[in-house]
């Protein structure tokens, strides 16, 4: 089983990057292959361009940067996105990655009846969101339900992903993130079992 672990944070040594690398370590320890992509370090351009619009609407040639990301995903069985929660959503760089890479004709396409057919049925999706508020705050204002609807359903279920799991890691002042790193390792080790769940 091959997993692609994608994260974004301007500081590669921040908890976000450490969690992403620990997910990959857990996956490798379980006998799987895991590649880690740091979108910030790679300077991925998140801007949806005129070229992207043309490709999406008229099926033109994909840009090299987008094609590289789609090739990575074509080789993966699982995609793990690790991200800090900014304004109750994912950071702009990660959202821009999805906007550009999950293109019409590759991630989804219209069917003859005017509906949509998802094309990412080969992928299990595991989302690891790192929040700064407690669960009561997320639930009180409906943020948790909104995130699940927007990200799980609005993006990945729409694209036909085989399974989608969203996990929220909340502030842990007592262990200074070590509990999150242990959880990340366990997530990585479990990735090969998502298909069996």
Among the ranges given (96-100, 140-144, 148-152), the one the predictor scored with the smallest mean pLDDT: 140-144
Where residue 14 sits, what CATH number does that domain have?
3.40.50.360
Read off the pTM: 0.91
Backbone phi and psi for residue 184, each to the nearest 5 degrees, phi listed first: -60, -40
CA 26 to each of CA 19, 66, 136, 160, 189: distance values in angstroms, whole numbers, following the listed order: 10, 28, 30, 26, 5
Q: Is the pLDDT of residue 194 over 60?
A: no
Average pLDDT over residues 135-161: 90
Average pLDDT, the chain: 90
- The tens digit of pLDDT for each residue in 5-35 reads 999 999 988 999 999 999 999 999 999 999 9
3-state secondary structure of 163: strand
- In whole angstroms, what is the distance from residue 93 CA to residue 110 CA? 27
pLDDT of amino acid 134:
82
* SS3 annotation, 27-87: HHHCCCEEEEEECCCCCCCCCCCHHHHHHHHHCCCCCHHHHHHHHHHHCCCEEEEEEECEC
- In whole angstroms, what is the distance from residue 176 CA to residue 45 CA? 32
Among the ranges given (7-11, 103-107, 146-150, 176-180), the one the predictor scored with the smallest mean pLDDT: 176-180
Exposed e or buried b for every residue in 102-137, given b needs 16+ CB within 10 A?
bbbebbbeeeeeeeeebbbeebbbbbbbbbeeeeee
Cβ partners under 8 Å of residue 167, min gap 6:
126, 127, 128, 129, 183, 187
Tell me 159's DSSP state.
T
Residue with tokens 């004709």: 105
pLDDT of amino acid 138:
83
pLDDT of amino acid 143:
87
The domain in which residue 191 lies consists of: 2-196
pLDDT bin (cut points 50, 70, 90) of residue 197 is very low
pLDDT of amino acid 193:
66
Q: Is the pLDDT of residue 173 over 70?
A: no
- The tens digit of pLDDT for each residue in 31-88 reads 999 999 999 999 999 998 888 887 777 666 778 999 999 999 999 999 999 999 998 8
SS3 content of the chain, % helix, strand, coil (to 5): 45, 20, 35
Number of domains in the chain: 1
pLDDT of amino acid 110:
82
> How long is the chain?
197
The gap between the terminal CA atoms of the chain, to the nearest Å, is: 15
């Amino acid at each position: 089983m091959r997993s692609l672990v994608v994260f974004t944070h301007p500081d590669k040594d921040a908890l976000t990057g450490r969690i992403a690398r620990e997910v990959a370590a857990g996956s490798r320890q379980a006998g799987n292959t895991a590649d880690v992509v740091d979108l910030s370090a790679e300077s991925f351009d998140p801007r949806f361009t005129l070229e992207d619009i043309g490709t999406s609407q008229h099926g033109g040639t994909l840009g090299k940067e987008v094609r590289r990301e789609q090739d990575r995903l074509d080789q993966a069985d699982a995609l793990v996105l690790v991200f800090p929660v900014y304004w109750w959503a994912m950071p702009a760089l990660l959202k821009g990655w999805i906007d550009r890479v999950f293109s019409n004709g590759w991630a989804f396409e219209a069917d003859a009846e005017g509906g949509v057919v998802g094309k990412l049925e080969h992928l299990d999706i595991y989302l690891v969101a790192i929040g700064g508020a407690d669960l009561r705050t997320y639930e009180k204002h409906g943020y948790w339900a909104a995130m699940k609807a927007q990200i799980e359903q609005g993006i990945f279920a729409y694209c036909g992903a085989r399974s989608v799991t969203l996990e929220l890691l909340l502030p842990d002042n007592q262990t200074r993130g070590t509990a999150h790193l242990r959880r990340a390792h366990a997530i990585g080790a479990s990735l090969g079992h998502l298909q069996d769940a």
